[in-house]
Amino acid sequence: MNDRPLAVLVLAAGKGTRMRSERPKVLHQVAGRSMLGHAIAAAETLGAERIVVIVAPGMDEVARAAAPHAVAVQERQLGTGDAVQSARGALDGFMGDVLVLYGDCPLIRAETLNAMRAQRRGEAVTVLGIRVPGPSPYGRLVLAGDGTLDRIVEALDATEAERRIDLCNSGVMLIDGTRLFDLLDGIGSANAKGEYYLTDIVAAARRAGLACRVVEAPAEEALGVNSRVELAEAEAVMQARLRRKVMENGATLIDPATVWLCHDTAIGRDVTIEPNVVFGPGVTIGDGVEIRAFCHIERATVADGAIIGPYARLRPGAEIGAKAHIGNFVEIKNARIDAGAKANHLSYIGDADVGAGANIGAGTITCNYDGFAKHRTVIGAGAFIGSDTTLVAPVTVGDGAFTGAGSTITEDVPADALAVARGRQAVKEGWAEAFRARQRAAKGNG
């Protein structure tokens, strides 16, 4: 293992015009996390001592997303070499290895970067290479006779013979930090784009008598996102990875391609997930849970053995207890549903605590919002809430209490009591027949 100190630079100053977006490119999301967030998470996994994100002037939103890590501003976008130059101040006094990542490459895995570091043998520059046969926009890696890396030639500057090389530059580079800026100072911009290419650091190192090498990685990891179409491609690769991980951990996905996961979705063993389920960020699912078709779940926890759906929605702050049942067209927000409680049909439970074993009848609504503030509803253990009860919060229904179907509950209900709050039924014998007779007579006269 390579235990030299590590600094990671994440290049993110490019404009990203092809996204056609008001939002900076690196803040577009893959699996519920920004592409920049993916790069930073990989850097954090490596135990980097410093992480510096290179931004363009005015990219305040990107700087906020980079926090608590440092940003360095690249005044003008003069190329990847110039981007790294702008981190000179941020790397002042740093003596370890510098890893360069791109903010628009969300699929690069920390394992791959670790393997790259582990294979470093004191070279000045290690480049992560990918095999890409046929025409491509990637820089080509030109090897020396001894198999070390001689130079990188950009596709636009390459000869026809060089363009036939299928070993390409992923963009990821590990550079000896004690040499980095000396080598960069020797790089010019006499090339097809008139830019300072970071890739020219390899030739500069060779001129200084230093060795460079290539470590290969799967091409899929180097997918760079420049457009919405490529964003969708990256999402598809990431989803496939996440689904595989969840299945390897012991969950059954009946139709994996229809289940959408987030980078942080945590799912236990012996969980069954039916088709068409969407997980937003911050979801934890226990063991033995059944998630039926067409559920939408975000920032929620579900304890062991619960049954969710079909067609249930768990919104932020939903905490579903063990063996609880949340059924079709039930929405839960910022509410605790304790063990064994049931809300099986057509309900909204928001800002509430529902005790263990309580039964929430069809059509129950917590009226949690008065137009200004949210209020809490507390339902005790074993309570029975009749169908179509509206609970006007703040209100408490005690343990074991009942509410009559169709009640509008505005006052607290003591434990084990019955509260009925609805108009008393009036029956008028023969009224309907008399009404019809009057109507018929009126029509006949007209």
Residues tagged active-site? 345
Per CB under 6 A, the list member of 74, 126, 301, 377 interacting with ligand UD1 is: 74
Under the binding rule (CB under 6 A), the answer on residue 37 touching ligand UD1 is: no
Nearer to ligand UD1, 77 or 387 (CB): 77
The SS3 of residue 273 is strand
Residue closer to ligand UD1 (CB basis): 12 or 330: 12
Q: Does residue 307 sit in helix, strand or coil?
A: strand
The angle formed by the CA atoms of residues 155, 158 and 159, to the nearest 5 degrees, is 140
User: Which chain residues interact with Mg ion by CB under 5 A?
Assistant: 224
How many whole angstroms separate alpha carbon 308 and alpha carbon 5? 47
Q: Are 198 and 173 in contact (CB under 8 A)?
A: yes
Q: Which partner from the list ligand UD1, Mg ion, none does 419 bind, CB cut-off 5 to 8 Å by kind?
A: none
Q: Using the rule CB under 6 A, which residue among 97, 154, 331, 388 binds ligand UD1?
A: 154
What is the spatial distance between Cα 430 and Cα 26, in angstroms, rounded to a whole number?
72
Q: Which of 24, 32, 37, 79 binds ligand UD1 (CB under 6 A)?
A: 79
Q: Provide, rounded to whole angstroms, the least separation between the CB of residue 358 and Mg ion.
A: 56
**Helices 35-45/110-119 angle, 10° precision:** 40
Assess contact for 351 and 334: CB atoms under 8 A.
Answer: yes
Least distance from Mg ion to the Cβ atom of residue 199, Å = 12
* Helix/strand/coil for 188: coil
Residue 168: name its binding partner from ligand UD1, Mg ion, none (Cβ under 5 to 8 Å by kind): ligand UD1
Judged by CB under 6 A, the chain residues 249 through 308 that form the site for ligand UD1 are: none
By the 10 Å C-beta count (0-12 exposed, 13-18 middle, 19+ buried), 219 is classed as middle
- Picked from Mg ion, ligand UD1, none, the partner binding residue 83 (CB below 5 to 8 A depending on kind) is ligand UD1
Q: How far is the CB of 102 from Mg ion (least distance, A)?
A: 7
Q: For 10-123, where are the alpha helices, taking DSSP H only?
A: 35-45, 60-66, 80-85, 110-119
139 binding ligand UD1? (CB under 6 A): yes
Please state the φ and ψ torsions of residue 176, each to the nearest 5 degrees. -65, 115
**Contact residues for ligand UD1, defined by CB under 6 A:** 11-14, 54, 74, 77-80, 82-83, 102-104, 138-139, 152, 154, 168-171, 197-199, 224
